[in-house]
Amino acid sequence: MRALIQRVTQASVTVDGQIVGEIDQGLLVLICAMENDSDVQADQMAAKIAKLRIFSDDAGKMNLSVRDIGGAALVVSQFTLAADTSRGNRPGFSAAAPPAEGARLYEYFAAQLYAQGVPVQTGRFGADMAVDLTNDGPVTIWIEI
C-alpha cells in the first residue's frame, strides 16, 4: 500500500456538489492499494498512521499522534499514487490493485484505522472527487508498506 499523509487543520471531499466526508484537525490520507496487497498491508498501514507522531506537543516538537490530539482522518482513494512515469510522459497505473480489490482494501483500511481509535470519514471510491484541505505546516509524508 502507498499513502500520502497530510497534516491538516480541515479537509473535505465533495462528490457531485455534495460533501461526502469532512474533518477538522487531523490527517488527510490519500491511499492506494497496490497489485499484490492484502489485508496484512492494510493492517500495517492503519497501525502506522494511527501512531505516526507528526503533531506538535507543548514544546513545539512533532511528538503526538492523531489519536493523542483527538483528531480524525479523511481517507480518500487515490489510485494515481501507483503511477509509473519511468517510460515516457504518460503515467501507467498497472501496479495498482484491480478496481474490485482496490475498493475492498480501501474500505478495509478505513475500518482498520477506525479500529485503531481514529475517527474516520471517507471519500467515495472510483468517484470524481474534489478534495479541499488546509495543510498544516505544511507536513506531508509518503508511506509505503
Catalytic sites, residue numbers: 78-80
Pull the grid cell for residue 108. Answer: 478495509
Instruction: Calculate the alpha carbon distances from 43 to 49, 74, 77 in Å.
Output: 10, 17, 16
Return d(Cα 52, Cα 111) in angstroms, integer.
Answer: 17
Contact 67, 26 (CB under 8 A): no
Residue 70, Cβ density class (10 Å: 0-12 exposed, 13-18 middle, ≥19 buried): exposed
